[in-house]
A and B are shown apart, each in its own frame.
Chain A
Amino acid sequence: MTTQTEATNQSTISKDTRIALFIPCYIDMMFPEVGIATLQLLERFGLNVSYPLNQTCCGQPMANSGDEANAAPAELLFVENFKEFDFIIGPAGSCVKQVRCHFDVIDQTDDVKHVRQRTYELVEFLHDILNVDSFPWAEFHHSVAIHNSCSSIRGLGIAKPSEIMGVPFDKTADLLSKVKGLVLTPVDRPDDCCGFGGTFCVTDEAVSARMGLEKAHDHLRHGVEYVVSPDMSCLMHQQGIAQRSGLDLKYIHVAQVLNGGPF
């Protein structure tokens, strides 16, 4: 369902558009290469991207557990950091969903409303706002399974959930299909949750691990080499499981593939 247009949609975005990079805390600390790939990729489109240095975390771990009182300071700081920008782009579906859908408990000031509306997940920004139609710099000669996280699918709508009837679409697949050499591999349960679920993965360890292991076996059965996702948190969990079980699968963020690295 891609609309084929110019690489950048000039009517929405110009040199003066103020774009902020939102790098979730766990990516900052554990997967800086995902942040680098995201920044470089956005810069390739000639965008003016800033990274507000005071950012910490979107408050998701607390909000997701229902602890709104302790989530609020992080949420308010997030709004403070990003309120001046036209677009806020984060390479993480669940964190973007937290901002867009769950910043609803703090006071709905104009700044809060603005930030909630203008925060985009990377894939949807590339697909819906920039309407990117090619990634000439990227090549990836591997068999790839997409793991769209539940937050991205059912929270942000980057793909059609299997439970909802209608015409299928998958924005991540649309983008990845433009990468030379990349083979998209279907699996049995593409949108069954992998069991990460934020704090769920430690509070409900047995169920979480079982779900992750089944995910890995689904990928292996179909000859997948790389699992690619717009959400590094799901991948962190799946990778931990695969490594421990000695399964030969690799996990990388969609930004790294679309940018052609760093890997």
Chain B
Amino acid sequence: MSNAKQVDPAKAAELFIIHDQIHEPMHDRFLWGTMQRRDAEAAAIPEWEELREIASKIKEHTLTHLDHYLEEFEANATKRGAHVHWALDAAEHNEIVHSILKDHGVKEMIKSKSMLQEECHMTPFLENRGIKVIESDLGERIQQLDGQPPSHIVFPAIHKTRKDVAQLFARTVGTDPNNDDPHLLTEVIRNNARPRFLATGAGMTGGNFAIAETGTFMVCTNEGNADIGASVPPLHIASIGIEKLIPRVEDMGVFLRLLARSAEGSPLTQYSSHFSGPRKGGELHIVLVDNGRSRRLGMADFWHSLKCIRCGACMNTCPVYRRSGGLSYGATYSGPIGVILDPTFDEFKYSELPFHSTLCGSCSDVCPVKIDISDQILKWRRVMAERGYLPLVKRMSFAVAGHVLGHPEEYHAMEKVAAPAMDYAPHFLLYNRSLNPWGRSRELPQIAKQTFRDWYLANRSEHADDEQ
């Protein structure tokens, strides 16, 4: 068990909802709209379900032969002139990146979006060692300026309104707080980033796919920022999780068709760039990171989560995520994929996350690589219950209920007293939210005067004798 405090996503989501009447509805509507576009794009491909199946199979195959493909990737990438590093965990990753930057005398570095670098908490690590880190993805830059982690893996600042951004830029970049024209805001941050691409000594990226047979990797973005960051400064460092491997170039045909359609309802990301070794006069370092992945690969119930291609579709479709905002999850990964990944980093801290779900199952059906997300959420609940992480009141009431429901005599005796008890329960007891959250926004259902069972005994008299 960790010393970290348990994250309380229900409480945080409540704050997101009651904060005002603007943020939550906007967040929900935008992501719902994204889902609608995704559905339309998927529907336009007759073999969509087949593609999902193939993608899932390729990932399963790769993950079950990961040692082989990792070594193949390393050999081929090295042949192309890249330096390949292996990082066991976040600390090693950060050390490796830091030492490369130090060796090159880099004081300022510009990076594009990488969930893995978030996971490793790389930016604070480097900044504590005197290296300035600039996010070049618009959403990530907004979050960086606000001192917040990304709230969505594809749309990092999606919980913010235009007004929020205008005010943030006014505070941090010096724009007019009342001008929230999106073109202006984008232009401002672009002009803010451009000179830095020229001035910095290194660019960092992540990698969406690492191809074993060629030793190359792909980065998919919409803003072209990764491409500039990898092409202008002389040094390019890419952090890639070991689960990002795929065997062959031709497999990309499957994943690229699924990725942007699932992520944002568009046929392709604006930029899908292959990086094949260092460019002339430049240097390329690839850091392959484990950070708990090989342990996850050994978890019978949860290893399928490694198939994830980080498209964010499960977040967009999740009715709970849409109402909560990603920051409510208090973790690097939010939404359904976060619920099943985060506990692998810290079971206690994230023990409430699996309960922040209605188990509606939409995430499993939308996932382009067919991860059984919803089933894994239920399985994580089982883990939390076994570890004793269920809230005490739940544990106690289930212990009583479990006994009563297994003993029909006690159950039917209890049924008889329940209805009169409801009649006498004072109103404040039922509607006091700390005692009974059902009643805060909902009327209580009436307990019937006669249960079905009693009706049956009275009306199907031939069976009445059966009563024990």
User: Which residues of B lie under 8 Å from residue A207 when comparing CB positions?
Assistant: 10, 13-14, 17, 320, 323-324, 356
Tell me how far the C-beta of B400 lies from the nearest C-beta in chain A, rounded to whole angstroms. 9
When distances are taken between beta carbons in the complex, the residues of chain B under 8 Å from A151 are 361
Chain B contributes a number of interface residues (CB within 8 A of A) equal to 84
What CA separation (Å) do A208 and B359 show in the bound complex?
A: 12
Alpha-carbon distance between A164 and B42 when the two chains are bound, in angstroms: 9
- Give chain B residues whose Cβ lies under 8 Å from the Cβ of A161: 361-362, 365
User: B1-39 CB contact bits vs A (8 Å, 1 = yes)?
Assistant: 000000000100110011000001000100010000001
On chain A, the residues within 8 Å of B362 by CB distance are 150, 154, 161, 163, 191, 193
Residue on A nearest B444 in the bound complex, by CB: A240
Question: Which of B123-131, B193-201, B238-246, B435-443 is near enough to bind chain A?
Answer: B435-443
Q: Are A154 and B360 in contact (CB under 8 A)?
A: yes
- Most chain B beta-carbon contacts within 10 A, residue among A32, A55, A195: A32
Tell me, yes or no, whether A133 is within 8 Å of chain B by CB: no
Q: A205-B441, A207-B14, A241-B442 are in contact. Are A66 and B385 (CB under 8 A)?
A: yes
The answer to whether A68 and B319 touch across the interface, beta carbons within 8 angstroms, is no
- A69 proximity list for chain B (CB < 8 A): 385, 402
CB distance A54 to B319 under 8 Å?
no
Contact B17 A210 (CB under 8 A): yes
**Interface residue from B324, B391, B442, B445 paired with A212 (Cβ < 8 Å):** B442
Q: Does A86 contact B (CB under 8 A)?
A: no
B360 touches A150 (CB 8 A): yes
List A contacts of B184 (CB < 8 A). Answer: none
Interface bracket on A? 35 or more
Known contacts A150-B358, A163-B366, A164-B365; is-contact A32 B402 (Cβ 8 Å) = no
Q: How far is the CA of A105 from the CA of B386 in the complex (A)?
A: 13
Select one of B48, B324, B408, B468 contacting A55, CB under 8 A: B408
A208-B49 Cα distance, complex, nearest whole Å: 31
In Å, the complex CA distance between A248 and B436 comes to: 25
Do the beta carbons of A166 and B398 come within 8 Å of each other? no
User: Do B460 and A51 touch across chains, with their CB atoms under 8 A apart?
Assistant: yes
CA distance A214 to B27 in the complex (A): 14
What mask results when residues 52 to 76 of chain A are scored 1 for a CB within 8 Å of chain B, else 0? 0111110101101111111111101
Q: Which of A213-240 contact B (CB under 8 A)?
A: 213-214, 236-237, 239-240
Q: Is B249 part of the contact surface with A, judged by Cβ < 8 Å?
A: no
Residues on A with C-beta less than 8 A from B444 are: 240
Q: A12 within 8 Å of B by Cβ?
A: no
Of all chain B residues, which has the CB nearest A199? Answer: B394
Q: How far is the CA of A105 from the CA of B381 in the complex (A)?
A: 13
Contact A240 B445 (CB under 8 A): yes
Q: Is the CB of B355 within 8 A of A200?
A: yes
Please measure, in the bound complex, the distance between the C-alpha atom of A46 and the C-alpha atom of B70, giving whole angstroms.
65
Known contacts A150-B358, A150-B362, A200-B357; A53 and B405 CB within 8 A of each other = no
Q: Among A34, A59, A73, which residue has the most Cβ atoms of chain B within 10 A? A: A73
Flag whether A47 is at the interface (Cβ < 8 A).
no
Contact flag A53-B453 (CB < 8 Å), given A30-B447, A210-B24, A241-B442: yes
Tell me if A193 and B406 are in contact (CB < 8 A): no
Q: Which of A56-112 contact B (CB under 8 A)?
A: 56-57, 59, 61-62, 64-74, 76-77, 102, 105
Residues 383-425 of chain B, each 1 if its beta carbon lies under 8 Å from chain A, else 0: 1111000110011001101111111100100010011000000
B314 — nearest CB in chain A belongs to which residue?
A163
Complexed CA–CA distance, A166 and B46 (Å): 8
Main secondary structure of the interface of A (DSSP, over half): helix
Interface status of B295 (Cβ within 8 A of chain A): no
Most buried by A among B415, B445, B451: B445
- With contacts A67-B390, A68-B385, A154-B365 known, is A204 near B13, CB below 8 A? yes
Q: Are A35 and B455 in contact (CB under 8 A)?
A: yes
**Contact yes or no, B383 A163, CB < 8 A:** no
Cα A25 to Cα B411 with chains together (Å): 10
Asked if A165 is at the interface (CB within 8 A of a chain B CB), the reply is yes
A209 at the interface (CB under 8 A from B): yes
Could you say which of B360, B406, B433 contacts A73, with CB atoms under 8 Å apart? B406
B48 and chain A: residue at smallest CB distance: A165
Chain B residues positioned under 8 Å from A33 (CB to CB): 448
* B316-367 interface (Cβ within 8 A of A): 317, 319-320, 323-324, 354-362, 364-366
Answer yes or no: B461 CB below 8 A from chain A CBs: no
Q: Does B188 contact A (CB under 8 A)?
A: no
Q: Which residues of B contact A25 (CB under 8 A)?
A: 405, 411
Q: Does B250 make an interface contact (CB < 8 A)?
A: no
CB distance from B2 to the nearest CB of A (A): 20
Decide: A210 near B42, CB < 8 A? Known: A193-B362, A205-B437, A240-B444: no
19 example contacts (A-B, Cβ-Cβ < 8 A) are as follows: A30-B448, A53-B456, A53-B463, A56-B411, A57-B411, A62-B401, A65-B385, A66-B390, A67-B402, A70-B399, A71-B402, A102-B378, A193-B320, A193-B362, A199-B355, A202-B438, A206-B14, A240-B438, A244-B442
A residues at B contact (CB < 8 Å): 23, 25, 27-36, 39, 50-51, 53-57, 59, 61-62, 64-74, 76-77, 102, 105, 150-151, 153-155, 161-166, 189, 191-193, 195-214, 236-237, 239-241, 243-245
| The 7 A-B residue pairs with the shortest CB-CB distance in the complex, in nearest-first order | A73-B406, A66-B381, A70-B402, A240-B442, A197-B358, A154-B361, A35-B452
Beyond A53-B456, A56-B406, list 7 extra A-B contacts (CB 8 Å): A30-B445, A66-B382, A77-B406, A150-B361, A163-B366, A193-B362, A210-B17
